[in-house]
Amino acid sequence: MRIRLAPALLILALPHVAEAQTRVSRSLPLNPDGGVRIHALVGTVTVRGWDRDSVTIRGSLGAGNRLHAGGGRAGVKMFVESENDLSPAASTLEIMVPARAKLWIKTATADVRVAGVTGSIDVYVISGAIDITGRAADINAEAIDGTILIRGTPGWLRAKSASGAVSFWGTSRDVTLSTVSGRIVVDGDANPRGVFERGRFESVTGDISFRGGIERGADLRFDTHAGAVDVTLPQRGADLEVTTISGTIQNGASPARPLAGRYGRGAELKTTVGDGGAGVSIRTFRGAINIRRAK
């Protein structure tokens, strides 16, 4: 009986759900490099950069939610207030901002997408996916158990998750990616002309995979406790310093063979691949290390 009633109850409830959604549309003036702060608890936040000096907010608010927005030409702030903070309804916001805006977004359980913003971007998500595309000057993206995907060529990039994966398709002069158990994937070939100059890639058990161009004089470090590390060096090579306490090293980038670890376990490898000139350090406790060289 309960099973038969359920679809009927759902059908009866649908109009109320539809009614409960409130459409929102608002515009605010903002300087081209003004600040935008967005605070939304649950749902989806999509931000796009455009070449106008204004901000527009469109979308639908969940039942009992209210949008507050205000500010001046130097900065605008908006937040979604929920009737019930313990169980907030999901809202969907689509926000257009000046491309050079300084963007700051904080959510609880919400997916955040940003595209076409060339200013600075800060995104904090507890649980949800972060997806940022473009040539932002700098990006700081943090999640607790959400995934992070960055596509583009930010000048400076910091991305951290705990259990979520962190992926970067592009290059940056200065990048730090960190997870606990999430996988780290860096595909610099997405931007064939770009190079990495300073890179830190760290996890506890998450696997780390890297391929991309490396600037002469660069300093790249890979550090994990138990994750596997797979690094594809560029054709021009690098100066390698590889250590694993109890893992293994597979070197397919040069004829050099790893030596047994100084402490009787694990392995070490110190060698110059190709022309060298760029420092690449890889360290694991027990994660397997695989080094390749691009063809």
Partner 1 sequence: MSDNMMDDARLRALKAMADRLPREIEPPAEAWDAVRAQIERDGAAGRAPGDVAFWQRPGFLIAASLLLAAGSSTATFLALRDREARPGTVAQSAGPAPVAAAGTVSTLAQFSGKENDYLRRVNGLVAILESGNAALAPETILKVRESLAIIDAAILEARAALARDPANRELIEMLESTYEKKLDLLQRTTEMARS
User: Cβ of residue 204: shortest distance to partner 1, in angstroms?
Assistant: 5
**Should residue 195 be labelled a site residue for partner 1 when binding is judged by CB under 8 A?**
no
Which residues neighbour 258 within 8 Å (Cβ) at sequence distance 6 or greater?
Answer: 242, 249, 251, 267, 268, 269
**Should residue 133 be labelled a site residue for partner 1 when binding is judged by CB under 8 A?**
no
Query: Among the candidate windows 14-22, 52-60, 232-240, 280-288, which touches partner 1 by CB under 8 A?
Result: 280-288
**Should residue 225 be labelled a site residue for partner 1 when binding is judged by CB under 8 A?**
yes
Nearer to partner 1 by Cβ, of 77 and 198: the residue is 198
Number of residues that bind partner 1 (CB under 8 A): 43
CB contact burial 76-101 (16+ within 10 A = b; e otherwise): bebebebeeeeebbbbbbbbbbbbbb
Structure tokens at 70: 């205000």
Nearer to partner 1 by Cβ, of 87 and 192: the residue is 87
**Should residue 191 be labelled a site residue for partner 1 when binding is judged by CB under 8 A?**
no
**Should residue 126 be labelled a site residue for partner 1 when binding is judged by CB under 8 A?**
yes
Nearer to partner 1 by Cβ, of 30 and 125: the residue is 125
Nearer to partner 1 by Cβ, of 57 and 136: the residue is 136
Nearer to partner 1 by Cβ, of 36 and 96: the residue is 36
Half-sphere exposure of 150 (CA within 13 A, CB side): 37
Among positions 14-33, residues that touch partner 1 (CB under 8 A) are none
Residue from 56, 133, 246, 254 in contact with partner 1 (CB under 8 A): 246
Residue from 26, 37, 39, 113 in contact with partner 1 (CB under 8 A): 39
Among positions 41-80, residues that touch partner 1 (CB under 8 A) are none
The terminus-to-terminus CA distance of the chain in angstroms comes to 65
| Of 140, 190, 148, 141, the residue nearest 170 (C-alpha) | 190
CA distance 51 to 99: 6
Cα dihedral sign, 122-112-158-273: negative
CA distance 237 to 84: 56
CA distance 15 to 28: 32
Alpha helix positions (H), the chain: 2-20
**Should residue 183 be labelled a site residue for partner 1 when binding is judged by CB under 8 A?**
no
Centroid of chain to Cα 226: 22
The letter for the amino acid at 109 is T
Residue from 44, 65, 91, 140 in contact with partner 1 (CB under 8 A): 140
Among positions 75-94, residues that touch partner 1 (CB under 8 A) are 85
Residue from 28, 90, 110, 180 in contact with partner 1 (CB under 8 A): 180
Q: From the CA atom positions of the chain, what is the Rg in Å?
A: 23
Query: Among the candidate windows 29-37, 44-52, 241-249, 250-258, which touches partner 1 by CB under 8 A?
Result: 241-249
CA distance 211 to 197: 13
Backbone angles phi, psi at 10, to 5 degrees: -65, -45
**Should residue 251 be labelled a site residue for partner 1 when binding is judged by CB under 8 A?**
no
Residues forming the site for partner 1 (CB under 8 A): 39, 85, 106, 108-109, 120, 124, 126-127, 138, 140, 142, 144-145, 155-156, 158, 160, 162-163, 173-174, 176, 178, 180-181, 197-198, 202, 204-205, 217, 219, 223, 225-226, 243, 245-246, 263, 283, 285-286
